[in-house]
Each structure stands twice: as C-alpha cells, then as structure tokens.
Structure 1
Amino acid sequence: MARTWSTPALAVLCGAGVLLLGGTGLFLAALFLQVAPSNALSQRYRGPIDQLVYPEFEQNWKLFAPNPLQQNLSVDARVQTISPTEHVTTRDWVGLTAQDIAAIRDNPAPSHLDQNMLRRAWDFYDSTHSTQDGTVAVAGERGRLAEEYLKRIGLQRLGRTPGGERVLQIQFRLRTAAIAPPSWSAEEAPAAVADRVLPWWPVDETDYQGLG
C-alpha cells in the first residue's frame, strides 16, 4: 500500500526542499564571489561573504588562475672548506632539489619537508630580494631572515665537515629550465638553462645552532 502524504506534510517538505536548495545556491554563490576576480557585486557584499567563508570554508586557489608554472626550478649549493693546514677547497655543486625529488619519487607517502621546505625557502628568499640592474636589494629584516633560513637548510644538507674540513662559506645556485611545449603547440622551443648564482655567504658556529 503506497504511503500518502497529507497536504500540510507535503507543504512542509516542499518548503524545506526550497530552503535547502536556496541556501545551497546562496552558499555556492558566496564561494564563487570569494574566489572570482574583484567586481561590483563582490565589493558590495565583501563583509557578509567573508563572514560566511572564513575561516571554515577558505579557498586557497583562484578560480581564474594564470597558466601553470612552465619551468623546472632546482636549487644547488656548494661550500668552501679549509683544511688543518689552511688549504681552501671549493667543493662541487650538490643538487638539493635533486635530493628532494629522489626522496619523493616512488614514495607513496612522501615527507612534507621533502616536498615543500626547500621550495618555500627559495620562494621566501626570492620574494624578499628584488633584482635591479644586476644588483640585489634586500628587503630589511625579512630579507636577512630569508638568507639565514636558506643558509641553514644548505648547511644541514651538506654537513658540518665535508671531506673532514671546516666550512668557511656557502653559495647557492638556482637553475631554471623551461619545459618544452607539446608537439601540437605553436609555442617556440624554450631557451637554454639559465643560472642565477648567489654570492658567497660566510659561515660560523652560530649558523649550526639547533641543526641536527
């Protein structure tokens, strides 16, 4: 026997359905306006939209994002060491990014540090050091903190006494290689690998404090 609903019950169910659909629509519209480019509607209702979205439903992506990164970036480091007989040696470059890639590849649960620490450290450095006319302008205390952060990562990776000798200074290099376009694309072939070599940074005992 089929169940029948009374008129008041149907009215309540229909009303509840309309409210749920309407609320869902308004919520999705608020999310859309929060991630969409600024416009008259989002500016007018910015306060209510932010109250609804933040912090539980914050979006960390952009709806109309630019083209994805079309370059491979890798960070290398090398050190100068001094022997007990005062002989100074410049060591070979060590691929820090290559170490991270090797640790991530074929790993079903890669470490967050392997995936992000070096990349974020370089992004922090790059955002605080503007390059103009071949010179680097350091952005105050944040710039010095970015240098110290990158330096300590490099020292931790390369060790305290490479080859049994004390480290005098450390240097970093960013290698940028454009990703080749697909065969069906009309884009031009990428340029050769470009290097950005940072100056030598002196190293002393304080740089090793707290490093494992």
Structure 2
Amino acid sequence: MDAYDKDPGARPDPGGSARARLPEPSPTGVDSREDVDSREGMESSADMDARADEESSLDVGPRAGKDSRAGAAAVRGEGAGAFGAEGAVPPAAPRTGVAALSPGYQVAAALALAVVGVAACVHLLMVFLSLAPTNTVTKQHGNAVAEWVYPEFEQNWKLFAPNPLQQNIAVQVRAVVRAKDGGLRTIGWTDLSAQDGAAIDGNPVPSHAQQNEVRRAWDFFTATHSADNRPDRMRGALSEQYLRRIVVMRLYRTYPADRDGVIQRVQIRSSTTNVQPPEWSGERVSDKPVYRVLPWWTVTADEAAGGVR
C-alpha cells in the first residue's frame, strides 16, 4: 500500500508531493460552516498558485525578447542614453547649400564669393572717396577714383545742401537732318526734359532713365566745362560724347530715320527758369528763362547710322 492508499483525500501533484487534503464530505450530506470555509480557503490558495504559474510562463517570452534586444544593442554599441532602450538609429540629415557640393565646387564657390566681396568693398571705397573732402588719397589717385565713379555711379547730394536748387532746368535739342532726296532741313527745338516729365507724371514706377538720364548727362557736361562751353577737365571730351549720344538716340525715337532722314548735326541748349517763391513771401525773382546754347556738334558716322538707338 502506498501513500495514496493511506490517504484517499490527497491529490497527486506533478512534482511528486501531495497537496493539502480536501475535507471529507459530511455523512449527513450537509457541510458544516468550518468545512465550507476550509474548502474555500484551499480553493483560493490553489487558484492563486495556478495564476502565479500562468503569469510566470507568460512573462518568459517578453522578458526573453527584451533580454535578446538588449544584448544585441550592447553588441552594436548602442546604449539607452544615445537613442533609447528600444529606439532605432535616426537617419543623418541631408546636406544643403555649399556643404552639399563636392570639394572642388566648394573651393570655386568660395573664390567667387571672395571676388564679389572684394569688388563690393572696392566700389564702396571709390564712392566714399568721391564724396569725401579732399585728402591725400584723392590728391594722388583722384583720376582713378573719377574714372571708376563717373558717370554711372556719381552721387548727388545737392538735395541736402544748405541752399538746395531753386531752378528748373530743361534740356532741349535741335538737329540738321539729311532727307532721302539729299536735301538738308533743320528740326525745331525738342524739349527732352518735358518728354521725361510727361512720362513720369502719373507713373507710380517711372524708370531710372526717365528720371535721370538726360538730367545727369547735362550735369556731367556742365561740371567739366567752363561758362563759355570749353572743356576744363580731362573728362570734358567724354562728357560731350556721352551727351551727344543720348540726344541723338532720343531724336531718332521722335523722328525715325526711315521717315525723316539721317541726323547730321545737333545743337543742345538748356533753359533755366527760377522756381517762384510762395505768395506769402516778399521775395521776387525773374520768371523769364535763361538759355545756355552749345555750338553745333557733328554726329559721327556710327551715331548717324543709328548705332546707339
């Protein structure tokens, strides 16, 4: 007889040990309160043991997976402090701008930027020297500064002078034209400044040429010539050529060569009229225009052929 024969109330255990005996049924068929409590206590403890075994078996998979991933991360050298315990390695950010170029192109871009920077600094220095008071640099290199700045980059500060301009100056031109039949005829005075004023009036975005081309050409001429219209500076001949080319080009717009003929000579004059003071002022100035008439200039062959239209 073995242990199970001795105690029929004992249940076999897979591990070879017997669990606590179940209480024997009552002979009357009615369990006492103590028997019921004893069975409930034993069943609850058995359920708790079974639930603990299930949880331990279910926890083996996730824990093993975590352990394997942690080991793999340790082999790759990835720590929790770098990308998280279970995070993936983020992709590298793409390069943009100059950094995305090859080394050769990066060197070329750096050289181009350096050249542009040097040119900008030289230009600013030249403009500053042209506006600055006379100094040692402008005395020694004044011609180089003037050739760089004039006439395209000249700056005019007369608006901010203590005595700003109080005159209206109009540039007018007339020409001698050779017609298709070979005869010569003279075109009357054309007011170029009035044409520019009409183009600017009511125009919210007038062009730079409309506002400054003729005016700055005339200022360039008067700054390099004496009162009797003789050049007194090295750039006198340049100012004459610059002004002549502009007026010939403007005349061809008004009087096309295929209709009116080819321009042979031009004559330019300025009409200066004083700006009248306000009514409440006691100042009185003349309202009659004063003319400055230049001699006739012969138009060169390339200009007469329309090379500057």
Moved more, 140-149 or 201-210: 201-210
For 1:47-126, what aligned pairs fall within 5 Å after superposition?
61=157, 65-126=161-222
Of the three residues 148, 171, 194, the one matched with 2:241 is 148
Is the contact between residue 179 and residue 190 of structure 1 (CA under 8 Å) also seen in structure 2? no
The one of 207, 219, 229 equivalent to 1:136 is 229
Q: What is the CA distance between 1:188 and its match in structure 2?
A: 1.3
Aligned equivalent of 2:265: 169
Separation in structure 1 between the aligned mates of residue 165 and residue 296 of structure 2, nearest angstrom: 29
In 2, the alpha carbon distance for the partners of 1:78 and 1:85 equals 20
Please, what is the CA RMSD of the aligned residues? 2.7
Deviation string, structure 1 residues 85-127 (Cα, Å, up to 9, x no partner): 4322111111100111111111111101111111110000000
Q: Structure 2 unaligned runs (5+)? A: 1-130, 134-154
**Gap regions ≥5 residues in structure 1:** 1-34, 38-58
How has the CA–CA distance of structure 1 residues 165 and 64 changed in structure 2, closer, same or farther, with 3 Å as cutoff? closer
Give the TM-score of the pair, scaled to structure 2. 0.45
SS of residue in 2 equivalent to 1:129: coil
The Cα shift of 1:63 comes to 10
> Per the alignment, do residues 60 and 89 of structure 1 end up closer, same or farther by CA in structure 2, a change over 3 Å counting?
closer
**Per-residue deviation, 1:136:** 2.7
Could you say what secondary structure the match of 2:174 adopts?
Answer: strand
Normalising by structure 1, what TM-score? 0.64
Structure 1 runs of 4+ with >4 Å offset: 59-64
Give 1:162 deviation, angstroms.
7.4
| Total equivalences in the alignment | 153
For residues 124 and 113 of structure 1, what CA distance do their matches in structure 2 show?
Answer: 15
CA distance change for structure 1 residues 162 and 79 in 2, over 3 Å: closer, same or farther? Answer: farther
Change (3 A) 1:206 1:139: farther
For residue 168 of structure 1, report the CA deviation from its aligned partner. 1.1
Matched, 1:205 2:301: yes
> Structure 1 pair 163/188, CA: closer, same or farther in 2 (3 Å)?
same
- Aligned residue identity for 1:150: L
**Structure 1 residues 139-166: Cα deviation after superposition (integer angstroms, max 9, x where no partner):** 3441111011110111111116274222
State the SS of the aligned residue for 2:268. Answer: strand
CA deviation map 1:31-60 (0-9, x unaligned): xxxx9x9xxxxxxxxxxxxxxxxxxxxx98
| More helix as a share of residues | 2
Paired residues of 1:169 and 1:200 also in contact (CA < 8 A): yes
Could you report, residue by residue, the CA deviation over 1:176-195 in whole angstroms, capped at 9, with x for unpaired residues?
A: 01111111112113241111
Q: 1:119 to 1:137 in 2, by over 3 A?
A: same
**Residue pair 1:167, 1:203 contacting (<8 A) in 2 also:** yes
Note closer, same or farther for the CA distance 1:202–1:66 as it changes in structure 2 (3 Å cut). Answer: same
Larger Rg: 2
Q: Which residue of 1 aligns with 2:28?
A: none
